[in-house]
């Protein structure tokens, strides 16, 4: 883990191209279907250590299916997924978090019947005993949920829910965080706050993020690399800056 | 006055057993959205195991422990072998499977233990305590029934509130997919949930059998009462199941104690209570449906 962090920060600091950075998560020619509908059609991409990789595209482009296939919720019909060199294509969903991959699903995934603190504790269950200081650190990152720690999670606002699930995922001490539409339904100010925090965690702690977003403008403003999906295929992969500058591409696929 | 006290005491004791049985139904409903109609037959099976041990000369307590452990095993096996394959399919499938189990287990009991009426012993006396000049309807056995249910409930509260495995079980019940993504072995937790529910159901079966005659279908009326109690409480709420059981026990005791030919009306009264509560509060007394929607 320490290695990855070191590599990650070096890569960011030097701003080197993607080829030299170690591929933390590698997705090769991934195909999967929901019933008769082929949702992913040979998708290949890499998420490098210490980077934010944004997967963009319209509704139905296959973004959510991509994350669900990577974490095993949907079985891949072909292709390969490797995490730090280890093949995890057929690994169980429950084992992913132990391998260093935390997936925050679409729609926040707060367990509303549990309290805020219990929700956090679930995130650390697989690790056994966890120091109190680790919870304190999450509450320091998100003071708004700290105020509500003993309340049932259903009282939280949309932004607080997003903070809770990201905090819960961080308690798993992942090497890579998979985030599915974290900006959905949130006020722009809250989105900026959450994305800003992600950037800080990536830059200062070597976290890596695979971010799926329909809100391409916000996502590209925080990401290092962008991957544009359309109808289950990768249209283009490039640095976020280049994608941002490509007006035709933005109009055609990103809606801004 | 004394009559009222006695009717109340009887109602509370019966209500405790309904509570336990309702709790068993709620535990399974909460985690798997299945109403386990086989709960009564499963409890009857373990009660017959206990009876066989007692008839073979074992003490009541040995029989009790073995019966509860068999309940644990039976619940786990049924979840793994029979319920797991239909989970995630249409909800009606699982219900039909539990109805099938209900019949099949009862038939198995009849085959193994016979269908004759057999008397089931109690560990404590059935004579009421003496208060002044009067004997009240509280017997040493009813104290045991109440204590056994209360201790079981306290243990469940400790398990669910204060242990990591309890947290994992609640997470699995309320957010299966999220729990899996967080590394919780949801399948195991569901098996454990069924096993625990079967233990609680078995305890209810053993307690209600004390001092009565048992036969393969002796739990049938308890299924109705337990189900009514669970729905009264809101099906989702363990506290609701307990309160629902006590309300039902008291209400039925008053009906049979104060209404002419009331004992014949008990089953009808249970359904009337159920209908009234559902008309006034469709989600049950302790419905958490508003929370769930949020």
Q: Confirm whether A201 is domain-assigned.
A: yes
Report residue A13's pLDDT band, with 50, 70 and 90 as the boundaries: very low
Within 8 A by CB and 6+ apart from A176, the residues are A24, A25, A47, A83, A100, A101, A102, A207, A208, A209, A210
Q: Which residue has the higher pLDDT, B67 or B258?
A: B67
Q: Confirm whether A138 is domain-assigned.
A: no
Mark yes or no for CB contact A109/B178 under 8 Å. Answer: yes
Residue B189: give the domain boundaries: 2-218
Task: Search chain B and give the residue with CA nearest A123.
Answer: B182
Q: Confirm whether B285 is domain-assigned.
A: no
Residue A21: give the domain boundaries: 2-113+152-254
Mark yes or no for CB contact B291/A105 under 8 Å. Answer: no
For residue A114, give the nearest of B171, B181, B185 by CB distance: B171
Q: What is the pLDDT of residues B189-232, one digit of tens each?
A: 999 999 999 999 999 999 999 888 999 999 988 888 999 999 98
Q: Confirm whether A58 is domain-assigned.
A: yes
Mark yes or no for CB contact A109/B288 under 8 Å. Answer: no
Q: Is the pLDDT of residue A22 over 70?
A: no
Report residue A173's pLDDT band, with 50, 70 and 90 as the boundaries: very high
pLDDT at B293: 36
Q: Confirm whether B20 is domain-assigned.
A: yes
DSSP B128: P
- Say how far residue B59 (Cα) sits from the centre of its chain: 24
Q: Is the pLDDT of residue B131 over 90?
A: no
Residues in chain A: 256
Contact between residue A53 and residue A12 where contact means Cβ atoms under 8 Å apart: no
Q: Using beta carbons and an 8 Å cutoff, which residues of B are at the interface with A?
A: 164, 167-168, 170-171, 174-175, 177-186, 288, 291-292, 294
pLDDT at A34: 79
Q: Confirm whether A131 is domain-assigned.
A: no
> For A46, phi and psi rounded to 5 degrees?
-125, 145
Looking at the complex, report in whole angstroms how far the Cα of residue A121 sits from the nearest Cα belonging to chain B: 8
In chain A, which residue ranges form alpha helices assigned H by DSSP? 2-14, 63-70, 93-96, 116-124, 132-141, 143-146, 158-171, 188-205, 216-222, 240-245, 247-249
pLDDT at A58: 87
Q: Confirm whether B31 is domain-assigned.
A: yes
> For B222, phi and psi rounded to 5 degrees?
-65, -30
Q: Confirm whether B18 is domain-assigned.
A: yes
- A135-141's contacts with Cβ under 8 Å and 24+ in sequence apart are A135/A171, A138/A167, A138/A168, A138/A170, A138/A171, A139/A167, A141/A167, A141/A170, A141/A197
Q: What is the mean pLDDT of residues A95-112?
A: 91
pLDDT at B290: 43
Domain count, chain B: 1
Contact between residue A211 and residue A55 where contact means Cβ atoms under 8 Å apart: yes
ipTM here: 0.87
Rg (CA), chain A: 17
- Distance (Å, whole) CA B164 – CA A139: 21
Mark yes or no for CB contact A73/B177 under 8 Å. Answer: yes
Looking at the complex, report in whole angstroms how far the Cα of residue B231 sits from the nearest Cα belonging to chain A: 19
Task: Provide the phi-psi class of A234: left if phi over 0, else alpha when psi is between -120 and 50, else beta.
Answer: beta
Mark yes or no for CB contact A73/B181 under 8 Å. Answer: yes
Mutant choice from A125, A166, A178 vs B, greatest count of B C-beta within 10 A? A125
Structure tokens at A106: 């679409």
pLDDT at B46: 96
Tell the residue number behind the tokens 């926040």, with chain if given.
Answer: A108
Q: Confirm whether B152 is domain-assigned.
A: yes
Coil/strand/helix, residue B168: helix
Q: What is the mean pLDDT of residues A192-203?
A: 94
Contact between residue B138 and residue B10 where contact means Cβ atoms under 8 Å apart: no
Measured between beta carbons, the chain B residues lying within 8 angstroms of A121 are 164, 167
> For B58, phi and psi rounded to 5 degrees?
-75, 160
- Is the overall model pTM greater than 0.90, yes or no? no
Domain count, chain A: 1
Q: What is the mean pLDDT of residues B248-269?
A: 87
- Distance (Å, whole) CA B218 – CA B41: 9
Q: What is the mean pLDDT of residues A39-66?
A: 92
- Distance (Å, whole) CA B251 – CA B259: 11
Q: Is the pLDDT of residue B291 over 80?
A: no
pLDDT at B130: 81
Coil/strand/helix, residue A21: coil
Q: Domain containing A105 — which CATH number?
A: 3.40.50.300
Q: Point out the least confidently predicted range of A227-231, B22-26, B282-286.
A: B282-286
Among residues of chain B, what percentage have pLDDT more than 90? 60
What does pLDDT average to over chain A? 88
pLDDT at B180: 95
Report residue B287's pLDDT band, with 50, 70 and 90 as the boundaries: low
Measured between beta carbons, the chain B residues lying within 8 angstroms of A104 are 181
Q: Confirm whether A167 is domain-assigned.
A: yes
Task: Provide the phi-psi class of B289: left if phi over 0, else alpha when psi is between -120 and 50, else beta.
Answer: alpha
Q: What is the largest CA-CA distance in chain B?
A: 65
pLDDT at B135: 79
pLDDT at B101: 95
Report residue A222's pLDDT band, with 50, 70 and 90 as the boundaries: very high
Q: Confirm whether B224 is domain-assigned.
A: no
């Amino acid at each position: 883990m320490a290695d990855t962090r070191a590599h990650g920060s070096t890569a960011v600091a030097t701003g080197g191209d993607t080829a030299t950075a170690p591929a933390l998560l590698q997705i090769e020619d991934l195909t999967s279907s929901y019933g008769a509908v082929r949702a992913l059609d040979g998708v290949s991409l890499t998420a490098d250590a210490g980077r934010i990789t944004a997967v963009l595209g319209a509704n139905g482009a296959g973004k959510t299916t991509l994350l669900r296939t990577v974490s095993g919720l949907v079985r891949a019909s072909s292709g390969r997924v490797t995490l730090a060199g280890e093949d995890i294509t057929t690994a169980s969903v429950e084992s992913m978090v132990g391998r260093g991959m935390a997936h925050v699903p679409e729609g926040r995934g707060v367990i509303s019947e549990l309290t805020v603190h219990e929700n956090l504790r679930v995130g650390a269950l697989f690790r056994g005993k966890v120091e109190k200081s680790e919870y304190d650190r999450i509450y320091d990152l998100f003071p708004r949920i700290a105020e509500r720690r003993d309340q049932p999670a259903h009282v939280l606002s949309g932004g607080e829910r997003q903070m809770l699930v990201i905090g819960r995922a961080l308690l798993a001490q992942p090497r890579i965080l998979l985030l599915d539409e974290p900006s959905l339904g949130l006020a722009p100010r809250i989105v900026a706050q959450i994305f800003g925090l992600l950037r800080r965690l990536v830059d200062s702690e070597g976290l890596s993020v695979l971010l799926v977003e329909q809100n391409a403008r916000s996502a590209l403003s925080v990401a290092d690399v962008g991957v544009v999906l359309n109808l289950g295929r990768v249209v283009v992969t490039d640095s976020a800056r280049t994608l941002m500058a490509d007006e035709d591409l933005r109009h055609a696929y990103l809606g801004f | 006055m004394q009559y009222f006290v006695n009717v109340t005491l009887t109602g509370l004791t019966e209500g405790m057993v309904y509570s336990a049985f309702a709790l068993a139904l709620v535990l399974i409903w909460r985690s798997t959205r299945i109403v386990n109609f086989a709960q009564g037959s499963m409890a009857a099976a373990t009660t017959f195991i206990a009876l066989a041990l007692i008839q073979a000369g074992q003490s009541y307590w040995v029989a009790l422990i073995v019966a509860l452990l068999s309940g644990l095993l039976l619940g786990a096996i049924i979840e793994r072998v029979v319920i797991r394959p239909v989970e995630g399919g249409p909800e009606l499938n699982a219900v039909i499977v539990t109805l099938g189990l209900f019949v099949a287990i009862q038939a198995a009991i009849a085959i193994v233990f016979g269908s004759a009426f057999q008397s089931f012993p109690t560990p404590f006396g059935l004579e009421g305590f003496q208060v002044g000049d009067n004997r009240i309807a509280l017997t040493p056995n009813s104290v045991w029934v109440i204590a056994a249910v209360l201790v079981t409930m306290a243990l469940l509260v400790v398990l669910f509130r204060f242990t990591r495995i309890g947290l994992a079980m609640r997470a699995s019940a309320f957010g299966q997919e999220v729990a899996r993504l967080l590394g919780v072995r949801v399948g195991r937790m569901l098996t454990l949930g069924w096993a625990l529910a079967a233990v609680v159901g078995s305890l209810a079966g053993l307690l209600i059998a004390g001092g009565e005659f048992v036969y393969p279908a002796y739990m049938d009326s308890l299924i109705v009462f337990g189900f009514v109690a669970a729905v009264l409480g809101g099906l989702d709420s363990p506290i609701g199941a307990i309160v629902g059981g006590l309300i039902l026990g008291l209400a039925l005791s008053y009906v049979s104690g104060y209404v002419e030919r009331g004992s014949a009306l008990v089953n009808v009264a249970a359904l009337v209570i159920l209908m009234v509560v559902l008309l006034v509060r469709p989600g049950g007394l302790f419905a958490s449906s508003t929370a769930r929607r949020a």
